[in-house]
Amino acid sequence: MSIERTLGLIKPDGLERGKQGQLLDRILQNGFKILAMKQLKLTRAQAEAFYAEHSARPFFDSLCSYMTSGPIIAMTLEKENAIADWRTLMGATNPAKADPGTIRKDFAVDMEKNTVHGSDSPASAAREVPFFFSQLEY
């Protein structure tokens, strides 16, 4: 295992319900360093670009509307095995199928409003981290 960086997002439902403190605490308690962090609101074009891999999916339009419905928090997370470990801490996309103790099990509203995002592979982390952060921000 090696030290990795991955992109974490707290999605609009997390901020709207005031869960960001609890979510950041879980991230830190699980050994992640938050190397960079900012709160922002995506434009429609930015959301569509970020989720471009899903552009043909039936949920794409609704997903982009939801992701632009309010502010999000973007983070670069670092630890050993960060990419897989953050996905494990997040839990399954569908919170009804998420394991006990995962963020999505404990916080998600539904399959769309599932509170957090995480890069799903080294290739997506390499694309997603610089989507939100420049080298000047570390």
Residues at the site binding ligand IDP, with contacts judged by CB under 6 A: 54, 59, 63, 93, 111-112, 114, 117, 120
- CB nearer to ligand IDP: pick between 96 and 137: 96
Q: Which of ligand IDP, Mg ion, none is residue 93 near (CB under 5 to 8 Å by kind)? A: ligand IDP
CB 75, CB 34: distance < 8 Å: yes
Rounded (10°) CA dihedral 87, 85, 124, 99: -10
Distance CA 26, CA 21 (A): 9
x-or-dash pattern for Mg ion, window 64-103, by CB under 5 A?
Answer: ----------------------------------------
Which tokens hold the place of 6? 């991955």
Q: Which of ligand IDP, Mg ion, none is residue 34 near (CB under 5 to 8 Å by kind)? A: none
Rounded (10°) CA dihedral 79, 122, 117, 107: -50
Which one from 13, 117, 118, 132 is the annotated catalytic residue? 117
Minimum CB–partner distance for residue 112 and ligand IDP (Å) = 4
Distance CA 28, CA 24 (A): 6
Minimum CB–partner distance for residue 120 and Mg ion (Å) = 5
- CB nearer to ligand IDP: pick between 56 and 136: 56
Distance CA 10, CA 77 (A): 12
| Active-site annotation holds for 54 | no
According to DSSP, residue 99 is labeled: P
- CB nearer to Mg ion: pick between 25 and 99: 99
- Residues marked active site are found at 117
